[in-house]
Amino acid sequence: MALINFGGTEEEVITREEYSLEKAKQNLSNETLAVIGYGVQGPGQALNLKDNGFNVIVGQRQPSKSWDKAVADGWKPGENLFSIEEACEKGTIILFLLSDAGQIAAWNTVKTHLTEGKALYFSHGFGMTFNDKTGIVPPNNVDVFLVAPKGSGTSLRRMFLAGKGLNSSYAIHQDATGKAFDRCISLGIGVGSGYLFKTDFKREVYSDLTGERGILMGAIAGMFEAQYNVLRKHGHTPSEAFNETVEELTQSLMPLVAENGMDWMYANTSATAQRGALDWRHKFRKLNEPLFEELYQSVASGKEAERVIEANGQENYREQLEAELKEVRESEMWQTGAEVRKLRPERN
């Protein structure tokens, strides 16, 4: 492990330089990795592992759009693509990558095949942390751990194909075989992690649910809408409002932040922009910290988990979800965004 100083706090991380892909492949040379689910995380992790030379099979319900996607991605029925039950039976490490609701529905099937010495892998701590609501309690004679890439499965795959890595957290919940750490880290390297940092199941799901509802998705969407609406109310055109709200952030400024940090981005903007940003950031922080605290407490209390399970359990959930997504998609701001993206010049 490497000891890194993160802003004055030392933290141990695991990199690909010290834990090589060859070492990971050797550790798992006798394992069959059964990826259960081919929705959000499944495709990226399964394909990356396969391309890295691991023995991977996929388990997916048939018929389904995800089964068809797996076939389109090159997985072959009866060879490395099976039903969930058959893949669980064949796998020595079961990568449980169904949605949180899907994990609840499939748990009894998966649990049946968790025989002594196998391992159960997660990429989200939801099912285990809120097991009083999900019923997911693994037997004591199997390894249980997680590797949670900090991004979507699509991003994980794209970065892998570009020769890059997406950072991941890891956690060992249960070490029944004495091999849980090496199994876990080997999978973390195999799926294409940039570096791995330690967590536990509870901290992973608390931070993940807070981030998704907060700055990663919920908060930024709400902030986009608020600024766009104010600009439109004061007579700015849709194109101007969208470019000042979304396009400049995603296409110009955030790449600078990703490259060298917020201070570097500030240093590479105008003096007028610098002054305003440095002054107003304090107001936005003071305004939003209480809201983020409210969000965190809602996660920690289990209210957010209850909401997810209740909503996903409704018979018409898919229809309700599509209606909500349609509202976003057909709003003026995102209709404008669709046109703005068409106008981006092609880079040769």
* 234 is a catalytic site residue: no
- How far apart CA 189 and CA 61 sit, in angstroms, is 27
Residues 196 and 188: beta-carbon distance below 8 Å: yes
Q: SS in 3 state form for 230-254?
A: HHHHCCCCHHHHHHHHHHHHHHHHH
What letters, b where the CB count within 10 A reaches 16 and e where it falls short, cover 62-95?
eeeebbeebbeeebeeeebbbebbebbbebbbbb
Q: Which residue among the candidates 113, 124, 173, 282 is catalytic per the annotation?
A: 124
**DSSP code at position 77:** B
Q: HSE (CB half, 13 Å, CA atoms) of 32?
A: 15
Quote the longest CA-to-CA distance of the chain.
Answer: 67
Per DSSP, the three-state class of 155 is helix
Beta-bridge partners for 13: 2, 197
Beta-bridge partners for 4: 11
Q: HSE (CB half, 13 Å, CA atoms) of 19?
A: 22
The catalytic residue positions are 124
